[in-house]
Chain A
Amino acid sequence: MDYLDRYREIVPDYVAFQAIQCLPLYNSARINTLKITREKLLERLKEEGVLFQSFHWYPLGLKLDIESPGKLLENLLGYIHIQEELSMVPPLVLGPEPGESVLDLCASPGSKTTEISQMMENRGLVVANEPSLARVAPLRSNCERLGAINVAITRYDGRNFPHGSFDRVLVDAPCSSEGRERRGPGVLSRCSPERSQDLQVLQIGLLKNALRLTKPGGVVVYSTCTYAPEENELVVQEALGEAEEFRLEKVCIPGLLECPGITEWNGKRLNDDLSCTARYYPHINDTGGFYVAKIIKN
């Protein structure tokens, strides 16, 4: 846990941040409106005596007071999808519309892919890219179970995804996953600044290519579930460079408290507009940890 000390200066109420890492995260799920309405699903859960609570910021998100929500018939039939609360944020920031063309560059296991598909009401196209063959299986299985039929899967290295002109691109990048400590204790023991530096090279490559693949006027969302500035603000700053072609838009989900992206790290000044990006800390909303940046291509 001492590893987190490097964030002492940037995390508000650091003691509470450190303390909550030991508290396991509740189970949560998203209602899949491709297969059922919210009203019908809630009615079923009540009938079965499953205790739940809707997220106050997102009516399709549920906290489930049940040990193995994966075993619910509603999950088997694809009426719900077990998904961490903050994992539902990046697609909402991306804001896909029915009929659009969307690329999910790092798609597996497909929680965000299927949320995007649901927001698009199964119309238009979601290209879900996942280079690893082993990780294509859960991606495909989740798309099929949830009835997402506007999804086509590709297997490119995201840095070399060849061409396209997408309305929106999501880069939910591979990261050190520090924000997942409450889900799987021990995550932090594998983290180090060196590892973050290594991941940064990959993340910059992915984001740069995503910016290239987006049509003018389009939106790119970059997200990670980590706190390391090397994998967050520094990636966004490096990928955007000096180009005037891109601008950052403020990330704000009503009902969910975000902290602004940092503009200084290790004594080095960063671009001021990185404060438009959002850091979500576990002790502030009782969630995991996430970072989200929204970029508009002019």
Chain B
Amino acid sequence: MSPRSSRIRNIFEPLDQSLIAKLWQDRFGIPEQAFAGCKFFRKARSIWAISDADLPRLSYETIGMRIMSCKDRPWKPTTSALQIFGRYAAKNLIHLNREEAMIFLEGGSRAIESDCEPGYVVVFYRGDVLGCGLYSHGKLVSQIPKERRMASTAGSEACSD
């Protein structure tokens, strides 16, 4: 890693759209058009997507939405990003029933029969994308962030005005 790399400098660096779209196409079968109108940036080991518009030269804390982490292999999609782009997925997706969905939303894990490839999957319930799951050895492990889980919603109202 060069000392000028964004991983060290911790700044947002523009990325080629087709590079990112290909990763999502390969894993989830999401067509590249799903990302039309977005541009991508890398900061440290995360990838961010924002609607295509001129960004004034400012010091940014975030640019759009953090859509994936490349900290480990394989790369991991965020639940927020799957809730937007996941509905276009054609593979590596799992549909849950009500009971399974509740466990998933609470952050739990559960044995599920699926022909998905091992790795991160898009999890659906009644047509809604719930978020990101990790599927391996016949088990689905919820990757829903703590603050978005069913059991921990008490604080969410404090975030509103």
Contact = CB atoms under 8 A, between A and B. Distances in A.
Q: How large is the interface on A (under 10, 10 to 19, 20 to 34, 35 or more residues)?
A: 35 or more
Contacts of B128: 73, 77
Interface string A33-64: 00100000000000000000000000000000
Contacts of A110: 159
Given A144-B80, A147-B80, A147-B84, A164 B65 contact: no
Interface residues of B, number: 38
B147 interface: yes
Most A C-beta atoms less than 10 A away, residue of B61, B84, B156, B161: B161
A102 to B, nearest CB: 10
Contacts of B158: 138
A101 interface: yes
A290 to B, nearest CB: 11
A280 to B, nearest CB: 15
Contacts of A123: 37, 51, 53
A78 interface: yes
Contact of A35 (B63, B83, B147, B148): B83
Interface in A212-256: 225
B64 A109 contact: no
Given A77-B130, A127-B58, A69 B64 contact: no
27 contacts: A70-B157, A71-B153, A81-B160, A82-B156, A82-B160, A83-B160, A101-B53, A101-B56, A109-B160, A122-B51, A124-B53, A125-B51, A127-B58, A138-B158, A140-B61, A140-B62, A142-B159, A145-B148, A148-B65, A149-B38, A149-B65, A152-B50, A153-B61, A153-B62, A154-B58, A154-B59, A154-B60
